[in-house]
Amino acid sequence: MLVLSRKMDEEIIIDNNIVIKIISIQNGIVKIGFDAPQDKVILRGELKAAIAGENIKASSDITNEIDKLATLGKIINNKK
């Protein structure tokens, strides 16, 4: 991990098209601005973890529904 110290209004440039700028520093809180192409996703760490959890839950829900449909299909086929 690269660790940098920055002051107000200083920037970090990544890959020539992503700019991270220190907007303000007050009471131990740093506000950071990001300027990046629209195809780049920028998420807070806790949101990424929450989204991953929701994706796992949704995947499980879909698997359960597919299992139910397969069971229903077997029941219908046995009644023919």
Other Cβ atoms less than 10 A from the Cβ of 20: the count is: 17
What residues does each domain of the chain span? 1-40, 43-80
Give tens-digit pLDDT for 25-64: 999 899 999 999 999 989 888 887 788 778 887 777 677 7
CA 6 to chain CA centroid, nearest Å: 26
CB of 34 closer than 8 Å to CB of 14 = no
At residue 4, the 3 state secondary structure works out as: coil
d(CA 38, CA 73): 44
Would you state the pLDDT for residue 80?
61
Dist. CA 39–CA 11, nearest whole Å: 21
pTM of the model: 0.58
